Structure 1
Amino acid sequence: MLPSRELAEIAVKALDSKKGKEIRLIRIDKITTLAEYFVICTGTSNTQINALCDAVEKELTEKGEEPLHREGYRGDTWVLLDYGCVVVHVFNDEARKFYSLEHLWADGEEVDLSAILPHAEEK
């Protein structure tokens, strides 16, 4: 079983490899028992949202990690991949603004992705 931070970083890189937008990694273990990390990303279409999720699942399956749950909400405007310690949320732009998870979990610690994604500053 991978450490949660490593699992989250693999998910972040997989999302980036499929051109996910506004990727955020938020550490929430100090404020909830739901998970240790949330990974949040925006996809530009239903097709891209599915491709983003497929990329995360492929990379993590290769490392021996399977999602506990995969849920899609509101006709593929939001897909959630639950790995227990890490929850990956992939939204379309409208759903991301509506659910505003960054605001909801503002007490969490946003992880600087510049070491994980060297071009993160440019986005």
Structure 2
Amino acid sequence: MTATESSIAIARHAARAAADKIAEDIVALDVSDRLALTDIFLIASAPTERQVNAIVDGIEEELLKQDRRPVRREGRSEGRWVLLDYADVVIHVQHAEDRVFYALERLWKDCPVVDMELGNDPSVISKSAGETE
């Protein structure tokens, strides 16, 4: 099974909103073969808690325009790792330090990367899931 077109569209809207708020290393992983609960993990990071929260705000505003509301939201008050659960898409916005520590891409390295069509901006183009620095 692969991620649905609907899930990919939601993830692309969220990725563009994150990029607009200067999110770093935006990557989307198709986890549909491994998890029955969701299709895509979208992961993005920022160097400060304030920026993490700004990215989350941007994503929620954009997806609200698409008539999408998160089923669950966690970590907002700390601004270190915010999880937005939109059922078919789970969005992780992490502080850059936490992203390195938890290394979600490494945990899910066998999952295919979904192209978020963010263009050629090097600040938002990320490595494939299996690559490390």
Taking structure 1 as the reference length, the TM-score comes to 0.90
Match runs of 1:15-94 below 5 Å:
15-72=18-75, 75-94=78-97
Q: 1:82 to 1:53 in 2, by over 3 A?
A: same
Mapped to 2, the partners of 1:74 and 1:101 lie a distance apart of 21
Partner SS, residue 56 of structure 2: helix
Percent of aligned pairs with the same residue? 35
1:31–1:107 CA contact under 8 A, matched in 2: no
Q: 1:63 to 1:46 in 2, by over 3 A?
A: same
Mapped to 2, the partners of 1:13 and 1:119 lie a distance apart of 13
Aligned length: 119
Out of 70-79 and 91-100, give the one that drifted further.
70-79
Q: 1:85 to 1:75 in 2, by over 3 A?
A: same
Partner SS, residue 22 of structure 2: coil
Question: 1:6 and 2:9 equivalent?
Answer: yes
Partner SS, residue 36 of structure 2: coil
Cα RMSD over matched residues? 1.6
2:53–2:76 CA contact under 8 A, matched in 1: no
Q: 5+ unaligned residues in a row in structure 1: which ranges? A: none
Q: Which amino acid aligns with 2:119?
A: P
- Following superposition, the deviation at residue 73 of structure 1 comes to 7.1
Q: Which amino acid aligns with 2:67?
A: G
